[in-house]
Amino acid sequence: MAARFTSALIKSTRMMSTSAEFIRAPIQVFGIEGRYAHALYSAAVKADSLQAVEDQLNGIQGSMNTVAGLKEFLVLPVASKEVKKEVLSGAFAEAGISPLVGNMVDVMIDNNRVSLISEVVSAFNTIMAAERKEVPCTVTSAHPLSEGHLEALQASLGSFLAEGEKLLLETKTDASLIGGMVVEVGDKRVDMSTATKIKKLKAELSLPL
């Protein structure tokens, strides 16, 4: 199935390069959305338009978040595939969306996968972050961290990065943590919150002596 998605997308993009070689992304993203994202990445590399494709995908996502009724229209059963593609084609032409992106969306409409556009955008962004050697990190604390704490945290986390990697730190607050923090780096999660410590303590105290 993955080969069918890839073949359909590469064929539809009419890439300038005559090479049929599939270019692998620096990181593997799974699921149906991953298949589309990987195929689009390969096509964009060959067309030397990675950054443009990323910007355009995020622009489409922004429109889906702000234009009332757009998401609903794309999955509306009574609207034919041809009508959906015609409406988007006009909007894409006006916005300067590249054929690579436009044709991918057409393929998704044809395959009844247009409801996954947001997931594809997210998957492509994940690939691009790996392309730039960016390592996303989310730190959730009960209260906002001070500048001193942030600097110390960045220095500590930075020591675990490989050469050339860049830390992308995002901070959030969650009062339910009570204290401490939860650190998520990539697919790793370290819970140092007070709430979790209390939960573990309660569990231990409930054990029979």
CB contact at 8 A, 25 and 43: no
| pLDDT (tens place) for every residue of the chain, 209 residues total | 444 444 544 444 444 334 468 899 999 999 999 999 999 999 999 999 999 999 999 999 999 999 888 889 999 999 999 999 999 998 899 889 999 999 999 999 999 999 999 999 999 999 999 999 988 889 999 999 899 988 888 888 888 888 888 888 899 999 999 998 999 987 788 898 888 888 888 887 777 76
Phi, psi of 163 (to 5 degrees): -60, 130
Supply φ then ψ for residue 190, to 5 degrees: -120, 115
Domain borders along the chain are: 2-130, 133-205
The answer to whether the predicted template modeling score (pTM) of the entire model surpasses 0.75 is: no
166, β-bridge pairs: 134
Q: What class has domain 2-130?
A: mainly alpha
Nearest-angstrom CA–CA distance, 141 and 175: 8
Q: Which two tokens stand for residue 53?
A: 């494709």
Q: Using alpha carbons only, what angle is made at residue 10 by residues 6 and 11, rounded to the nearest 5 degrees?
A: 115
Residue 184, C-beta contacts closer than 8 angstroms, at least 6 positions apart? 137, 138, 139, 140, 190
